[in-house]
Amino acid sequence: MTFQPIGRPVRAAFVGLGRIYDLNSRAYVDNPDVEVVALVDPSEERRAQRQQDWPDAVCFASIEEMAKSGVAIDAVEALLPIPLHVSGVVDLLSHGWHVNLQKPMCNDLASANVMIAAAKKHDRVLRVMENYIFYEPLMKLKEIAHSGEIGEISGYHMKMVASGLGGWEVPASSYEWQVKQMRDGRGILVFDDGWHKLSTALWLFGPIREVRAWIGTTEIVPGFGVDAPTTITWEHENGIRGVWDITLAVDMHLRSDYYTNDERWEVTGRKGYARVNRCTARGIQEPSLEVYVDGVMKSFHSLDDDWASSFRDSGHHWLRYLRTGNGPLLWSPEEARDVLGFALAAYKSSESGGLGVSPADMIC
């Protein structure tokens, strides 16, 4: 593509003003790289609420209304429900706007290819936002893992416990879309939230050679279940192996300003290990990052471990990229397609009883 940096503050629009807006919008507050010029949502109530954040922005009920208005726009923060990603992104790109898309990219590879082709056709930048790779404790974990401090890497482990109590309120309309996703075979833990976890694996150690998975279900109400317990294992092309365990604890309370997921990442080397103790919630009241080497435990107490800061920093990176061209995108649509291939390989493996599946075979 022939992207040229904008070289001035980006004229941006938000399309979708639901719960996740509260996190993504942080990158736009007091940011000299951007001017918020438009807000789009079918809900009049949400438009009125969010316009208090941007009094000079023009509000619209649809993308079509915004396109017809003549408001000058460079880029769109696309915070749409996942089933609307493909049609929404293709529409936004067709109007000549760069797009920062909320993850997951989409549900299948054909849809990913449609969006990639649309970005190329209209010569616009499509980015799929991944905030976890901007979470400071995880960034420090990666730095330590690749520095040699803990020795040659022996393995990688993630653990997540999803709980049913605590955290912020989520509108019922958001869960309606998630229920549709789950009924279409794209679970809220493995696929929606899991997109983050699979992204961190690729970001830390590169392409995946093989995936093996056992995706279970726990009935929450009659006829409806959540995709746990689940175990996903994989081997990177460099030989490093990883495992991710998901457990559901419906009656467990977790302290959180956001969603109630108790998450941990641990990279083990031949000399020691580095462990991130939390992210979204605050289940373990220990330093967010600990490193054990040669009998000595080093604790990091001053890293920015507020999950919302990762959204802010990811958005800052995107807007700075548009203004100056400083990259990489993190993620490009092709990199996001690799995440999707990883997820789809896990589903295919589970369907076949845990047989090994190559993500590359899913993408071909």
Residue intervals of the chain classified under CATH 3.30.360.10 are 132-300+341-351
CA-nearest of 244, 243, 220, 247 to 162 is 247
Whole-angstrom distance, CA of residue 159 vs CA of residue 230:
10
Residue intervals of the chain classified under CATH 3.40.50.720 are 10-128+311-330
pLDDT at residue 283, rounded to an integer = 86
- Prediction pTM value: 0.96
pLDDT-based confidence at residue 169 (cuts at 50, 70, 90): confident
Q: Is the pLDDT of residue 172 over 90?
A: no
Give the DSSP H or E segment for 98. strand 98-101
pLDDT at residue 334, rounded to an integer = 98
pLDDT at residue 164, rounded to an integer = 81
pLDDT-based confidence at residue 285 (cuts at 50, 70, 90): confident
CA-nearest of 92, 104, 231 to 159 is 231
Answer for the pair 342, 105: CB distance below 8 angstroms, yes or no. Answer: no
| Torsional class of 169: left (φ above 0), alpha (ψ -120 to 50), beta (otherwise) | beta
Tens digits of residue pLDDT in 27-63: 999 999 999 999 999 999 999 999 999 999 999 999 9
Answer for the pair 12, 74: CB distance below 8 angstroms, yes or no. Answer: yes
pLDDT at residue 173, rounded to an integer = 72
Cis before 331? omega within 30: yes
% of the chain residues with pLDDT over 70:
99
% of the chain residues with pLDDT over 90:
91
The dotted CATH code for 132-300+341-351 is 3.30.360.10
Mean confidence (pLDDT) of the chain: 96
Q: Is the pLDDT of residue 133 over 80?
A: yes
Q: Which amino acid is at 38?
A: A
CATH of 10-128+311-330 given 3.40.50.720, 3.40.190.10, 3.40.50.150, 3.40.50.10470: 3.40.50.720
Q: Among 35-44, 170-179, 226-235, 307-316, which stretch is predicted with the lowest mean pLDDT?
A: 170-179
pLDDT at residue 71, rounded to an integer = 98
Give the DSSP H or E segment for 204. helix 194-205
Of 270 and 181, the structure prediction assigns the larger pLDDT to: 270
Burial readout 68-77 (b: 16 or more C-beta within 10 A, e: otherwise): eeeeebbbbb
Q: Is the pLDDT of residue 315 over 90?
A: yes
Of 300 and 164, the structure prediction assigns the larger pLDDT to: 300
> How large is the average pLDDT for residues 269-280?
98
Whole-angstrom distance, CA of residue 336 vs CA of residue 321:
18
Cα–Cα distance list, 150 to 20, 274, 294 (Å): 36, 7, 9
Q: Is the pLDDT of residue 226 over 80?
A: yes
